[in-house]
Structure 1
Amino acid sequence: MLDMRPDCERCGADLPAEQPGAFICSFECTYCAPCAEKLDDRCPNCGGELMDRPTRSADLHAKYPPSSERKFKG
């Protein structure tokens, strides 16, 4: 199950699990669409390809909660 991180690691933008617009690599590093575009869809941490992250329905958050740990170091 995906971690569904709550923010962009590059700019800190909120990325709710139930909304589209997040991009992840195979290690689940997470970026917003504008940052993924600026990174040419390559993860700066591992060099992997950034892909659209699937969404998780809000009604599943109680049983399968998204992560609340923020990764932005700003």
Structure 2
Amino acid sequence: MLELRPGCECCNRDLPPESTEARICSFECSFCASCAESKLGGMCPNCGGQLVRRPQRPAAIMHRVVIPNPSSIRGAPERSASF
């Protein structure tokens, strides 16, 4: 399942699941549209991949989906820093 990271890795702006402002690369690095376009030129600084609009999950099924809190996943910060 696609990991919907909660914030921009550049400016720490909140990126809730319903946000249309989130941009991701193929490794799911997450940035806000402003940073992705103006600071990063549409390229991920971690892997060099293209940043594209993050898809939104259908609101009608969100009550059935269990999404773990990223801060509760052991090793989460280390994984994102490993690029």
* TM-score > 0.5, shorter chain as reference: yes
The structure that is helix-richer by fraction is 2
- TM-score, reference length from structure 1: 0.81
Percent sequence identity over aligned pairs:
54
Larger-gyration structure (1/2): 2
Structure 2: where are the runs of 5+ without partners? 78-83
Root-mean-square deviation (CA), in Å? 2.1
Q: Deviation at 1:61?
A: 5.1
More relative contact order in 1 or in 2 (CA 8 Å, sep 6+)? 1
4+ residue stretches of structure 1 with deviation over 6 A?
none
Relative to 1, partners in 2 of residues 1:9 and 1:30: Cα closer, same or farther, differing over 3 Å? Answer: same
- TM-score, reference length from structure 2: 0.73
Aligned pair count reads 71
